[in-house]
Amino acid sequence: MTMGERIKQLRSAKGFTQEMLAEKMNVSRSAIAKWEADGGIPDVDNLIQLSFVFNISVDELVGNSATTEHSKRAETTNYEVHDFGSQLHDIELSGWNDGVSGVYIIAEDQNFLYYYQSSDKSCGVYGVIGKKHIMSVSPVKGKKPTILCIKKVSREYFCDKPVKIELAKRDGLIKGFFDFRDDAYRNVVICSFGDDTLHLKFGGTLNLADITKIEELIDL
């Protein structure tokens, strides 16, 4: 199956017209038609965005899908495979959830997109974003990325160290604005990850589907 056939198959499975998919991707309908006719291949940014729209990994989108058993192990994809880490991105989340700006996307797994955010004033930080809560991923224009030594990280990187965890805000203007559940997870330690949950030190379990962001805490 070609890339174009794959995109068309996934679009049809979602019940999207070319116009609907183009609107979600913020591209023209002719761009979708061109991809589906194999007249061109989406660039890295559009591949990432397509994976979010179709709720699959980039590997699955480009035809390098792993087995179900492999996916359950939630192994990360090295950023070098997809040219991750070579472009700064802004990631917007749905609702009242806070996204991130000016980050390097370095890997992905079944649930999370992994990022690195550099800083002029301190060490950079590693974090993850819950893929189901992503609205858009946009390249940062007018700012050249810096060549960095970025580590390959997985879920285990965020275990046994201080992190902050953000949960999906409740729906609705009032409920979302006054949702302060994150306050309980501003400085916690993760013991381990399960298939659908994570376990906190000193007790407590969170569903992975409820998590919008995990970010390591750095001592300045």
102 — alpha (psi -120 to 50), left (phi > 0) or beta?
left
DSSP3 helix / strand / coil % (the chain, rounded to 5) = 35, 25, 40
Segments forming the whole domain that contains residue 101: 79-216
Average predicted confidence (pLDDT) for the chain: 80
Domain boundary among 42, 72, 102: 72
Same domain, 85 and 142: yes
136/183 same-domain check: yes
Residue 113 and residue 47 share a domain? no
pTM exceeding 0.85: no
Six-digit token string for 204: 């407590």
Statement to judge: residues 44 and 131 lie in one domain: no
pLDDT tens across 135-190, in order?
A: 888 888 876 666 566 788 899 999 999 999 998 876 554 554 555 566 778 899 99
Residues 96 and 119 in one domain: yes
What pLDDT does 69 receive?
35
Residue 171 or 196, more confident = 196
Three-class SS state of 203: coil
- Which residues, other chains included, contact 121 with Cβ-Cβ below 8 Å and sequence gap of 6+? none
Asked if 63 and 94 sit in the same domain, the reply is no
Instruction: Please give the pLDDT value at position 73.
Output: 36
| The domain boundary residue, chosen from 11, 38, 72 | 72
Number of compact structural domains in the chain: 2
